[in-house]
A and B are shown apart, each in its own frame.
Chain A
């Protein structure tokens, strides 16, 4: 059974002090439903991706919470998988449609982070790590710094190569009116920014953001109505140890590699077929590792490609990565991110991305990671209806 995305939308991402989580979700959902030519009463089930509402805001039971807000009375679920919560919510929604249980599923990702002080947000995010990691006082920038140093020492990856990720993604974000940041930066500026956890600096890190994203997943029978459907042709989710100490190697993320393998196999495509990708660049090193884990480059080769600007809009020959600005510059409201990636790829495959449209793109991929690689979700989409190589 084939599964498609109809309407998909995000709110503005950023420091949205005057907007509540309810209002964020209402806005993203209204736009996604309108674009799908559906009403909330047409929806069979609601999947909410969120990580921190309990630990920071004291609000759990988010399925019912947002069902109430949206005037929805059907089955509603919250899915949590740290920063991959959105990707996992989307995966579960797609599984439900593919199973035949539901025909029209609404997936929402949302996070409200800027209400809370940074130390508390950092501690909340460390809920994604292991007990030992919390006892060590390590932060998420710290965990990725440990991955970065290992990658640098194994492959000779440089701080300039890492900085090139941030420069590219800020360039893309300038073309995205919904992005958290709209300023260009340079490699020199990244290198001169204050250290957060050596070797990672402030401009190697994604920001603390608020935002929501929504997507409507439908069965093939429903897909012909509303907007041009974008087909989900492959999906994979994999898990690994919560903490870095439990990993066999720390210069790649095994969960991401395994999730990608599953998705490529289901879609019957390979890394060379992907023309646009939204990858999980919570830190610059995370995008560099993602490019290698997804098979776009051999291990140790992605850094040089980034310095050559091979993945930048307008310069790329084959593949553009993070046209939205990525987590780094579009912003990273953690529960929303995985759904936002889907929204961006769907828009790119429909050709509706305006100034940041990747030309002649047909197949796109999303890569969403939770924790320091404890969970990963990879989805592959195809734009042209009915011409799918995949089995849906």
Chain B
């Protein structure tokens, strides 16, 4: 899906977001996954309000309930299953703040 050069170019955006905190505006739990995400299903996706922008990403390491208004923090994670000859794609996901 992604060429190595595209991954390299987009990696620069990761550090802008890493560690930023925000609030969940809306969320869903995807039960029927996208190709490349099969082994993660079901997974949460949240729309998050950060200080300067909104951002959409997965919410991971969830043990309790998910609700709008919860505070989250941007972390770096493997995004999806790479194809056999792909560079492993890393990017931003969110975890709940205690």
A and B part of one assembly: yes
> Within B64-81, which residues are at the interface with A (CB < 8 Å)?
68, 79-80
- Chain B contacts for A142, CB-based, 8 A: 28, 30, 45
Q: Which of B26, B27, B32, B58 contacts A122 (CB 8 A)?
A: B32
- B25 within 8 A of partner (CB): yes
CA of A134 to CA of B45, assembled, Å: 11
Q: Which residues of B, 15-64, contact A by the 8 Å Cβ criterion?
A: 25-38, 40, 43, 45, 47, 53-58
**Chain A contacts with B in 119-170, Cβ cutoff 8 A:** 119-120, 122-123, 126, 131-139, 141-142, 145-147, 149-150, 153
Q: Restricting to A206-248, which residues have a CB under 8 Å from any CB of B?
A: 243-247
Query: B10: which A residues are within 8 A, CB to CB?
Result: 131
**Of B26, B34, B91, which contacts A126 at CB under 8 A?**
B34
CB pair B29 A198 closer than 8 Å: yes
Tell me which residues across on chain B come within 8 A of A118, comparing CB atoms.
32
Determine the chain B residues whose CB is within 8 A of the CB of A245 once the complex forms.
47, 53-56
| Interface residue count on the A side (C-beta < 8 Å) | 36
Q: Please, which residues of chain B bring their CB within 8 A of the CB of A199? A: 28
Q: Is the CB of A138 within 8 A of B45?
A: yes
Q: How far is the CA of A278 from the CA of B29 in the complex (A)?
A: 30
Return the contact of A137 from the options B33, B53, B54, B68 (Cβ within 8 A).
B33
Shortest distance from the beta carbon of B4 to any chain A beta carbon, whole Å: 15
Cα of A120 to Cα of B80 in the assembled complex, Å: 15
- Enumerate chain A residues within 8 angstroms of B54, measured Cβ to Cβ: 244-247
Find out whether the CB atom of A132 lies under 8 angstroms from the CB atom of B36.
no
Task: Choose from A119, A135, A141, A247 the contact partner of B79 (Cβ within 8 Å).
Answer: A135
Shortest B76–chain A CB gap in Å is: 12
B55 contacts A120, CB within 8 Å? no
In the complex with contacts A126-B34, A131-B10, A250-B47 CB distance below 8 A: yes
Q: Given A135-B91, A150-B25, A150-B26, is A141 in contact with B55 using a C-beta cutoff of 8 Å?
A: no
Say whether A146 contacts B45, CB under 8 Å.
yes
For A141, list chain B residues within 8 Å (CB). 30, 32
Contacts A132-B57, A146-B28, A245-B54 given; indicate if A119 touches B47 (C-beta within 8 A). no
Q: Any chain B CB within 8 A of the CB of A195? A: yes
Q: Is the CB of A137 within 8 A of B32?
A: no
Complexed CA–CA distance, A366 and B47 (Å) = 30
Please measure, in the bound complex, the distance between the C-alpha atom of A196 and the C-alpha atom of B57, giving whole angstroms: 18
Instruction: Name B29's contact: one of A147, A150, A197 (CB within 8 Å).
Output: A197
7 A-B Cβ contacts within 8 A?
A137-B43, A139-B30, A149-B27, A153-B26, A197-B28, A197-B29, A244-B56
Q: Which residues of A approach B to under 8 Å, CB–CB? A: 118-120, 122-123, 126, 131-139, 141-142, 145-147, 149-150, 153, 194-200, 243-247, 250
Beyond A136-B57, A146-B47, A244-B56, 14 additional contacts (C-beta under 8 Å) are: A123-B35, A133-B56, A137-B37, A137-B40, A137-B43, A137-B58, A137-B80, A138-B56, A139-B32, A141-B30, A142-B30, A245-B55, A247-B54, A250-B47
